[in-house]
Amino acid sequence: MIDRNQTCGIGQDSVPYMTCLIHILEGWFGVEQLEDYLNFANYLLWVFTPLILLILPYFTIFLLYLTIIFLHIYKRKNVLKEAYSHNLWDGARKTVATLWDGHAAVWHGYEVHGMEKIPEEGPALIIFYHGAIPIDFYYFMAKIFIHKGRTCRVVADHFVFKIPGFSLLLDVFCALHGPREKCVEILRSGHLLAISPGGVREALISDETYNIIWGNRKGFAQVAIDAKVPIIPMFTQNIREGFRSLGGTRLFRWLYEKFRYPFAPMYGGFPVKLRTYLGEPIPYDPKITAEELAEKVRDRRLRTDGRTGKNTRGAC
C-alpha cells in the first residue's frame, strides 16, 4: 500500500500508474485491500476462460439447432395458422408436434417405416417397447398428428400424473392411466390407443439386448379382444443406445418394486439414428384367448431390417 501523501508524479518518489490508480479507487469506494480482490478476480478469469472458450462453440451449435427447428415450424406456418383458426388446442398440438418433429429430424434423423399400417380412420391398438426415456414415442405421436391428422392416446404410469406441471400436457395429449374399461371405451369410439405392457419396469430394467419385461401381463390383449380391434406392434431401433438407465442394479430394482417410483438415474441423449418399425397388424380374432393373443404379440416383436426385409432380434 502506498503512502497517502505520496504523489503519482514523475520523479524519485513516483509510484507505478496502476498502483496509483488502485489507491484512487480505494478512496472512491471506501475499501481496503482492493488489489487483493483484483488479483483474485484475475485468477478466476484465468481459471474459467478456457472453460468458457470450450462452451461457446457448443452454444453456437445449439443456436444453430434452434434455428433449424424454428425453420421446420415456419415451413408449416400456414398449416399452423389454419389449425389455430379451428381450435385452440388443435393449434397447440400442431405446434408442439412440429417442434418435436423438427427435433427428431435434426438430432436423431428419425424415420418411421410402415406408417401406412396406421389407419386413416378407425381404431387400432399400438403395442410398443418402452425405452429408458420413450422419446421415440413422442416423435411417433408427432408424426401421426402431422401426417395423419390423428391423436394417439397413450396409457401412462400413475406416477407421471403426479409430476408437478404435467397435468396440462397429459390432458392436451389425451394420456390416461386406465382402467381397462376406459381403454376399451376409447377404442370403441374409433380412436388410436398405445400401450407399453412393460411400462416403467421395462424402461428401468431392460437393457441394450431389448429383452421384454412383460411378466404375465395380458390386459392389453383383453382390451383388444373386448374392443374388437387390431394390434399393431411397434419398435424403435437404437432407442436403448440413445438413453440408458441404471435401474437394472439390485438397489434401484428394489426401490422400484418397493415404492413403484423410478428412482434410478438415467443418462444419454446421444444423437443416434432412430428408426421406428411398425409390424403387420394382428387382426381381431374372436376365437383367440387373451393369453394366446399376448403370446402372439410377443412373438411378433422381431426386428425388421429396413433394407432387406429380414427379421432379426429386437423389434417388430
Shortest CA distance to 266 belongs to which of 240, 290, 230?
240
Q: Torsion over CA of 304, 308, 309 and 310, rounded to 10 degrees?
A: -70
Question: What nine digits make up the cell of 109?
Answer: 434423423
Q: 3-state DSSP call for residue 277?
A: strand
Helix (H) or strand (E) holding 184: helix 180-188
71 residue type, one letter: L
Active-site residue, 130 included: yes
Peptide bond into 179 cis (omega under 30): yes
Alpha-carbon gap, residue 137 to 62, rounded angstroms: 24
Total Cβ atoms within 10 A of residue 77? 10
Inter-residue contact 305 to 312 (CB < 8 Å): yes
Find all residues with CB under 8 Å of 184, minimum gap 6, and list them: 223, 226, 227
Inter-residue contact 144 to 104 (CB < 8 Å): no
DSSP state of 287: T
Alpha-carbon gap, residue 314 to 277, rounded angstroms: 11
Helix axes 34-75, 17-29, angle to 10 degrees: 80
Question: What nine digits make up the cell of 133?
Answer: 426415456
Catalytic residue among 23, 103, 108, 130: 130
Inter-residue contact 301 to 235 (CB < 8 Å): yes
Alpha-carbon gap, residue 218 to 235, rounded angstroms: 18
DSSP string, 201-221: HHHHH--TT-----TT--HHH
Q: Which residues are catalytic?
A: 130
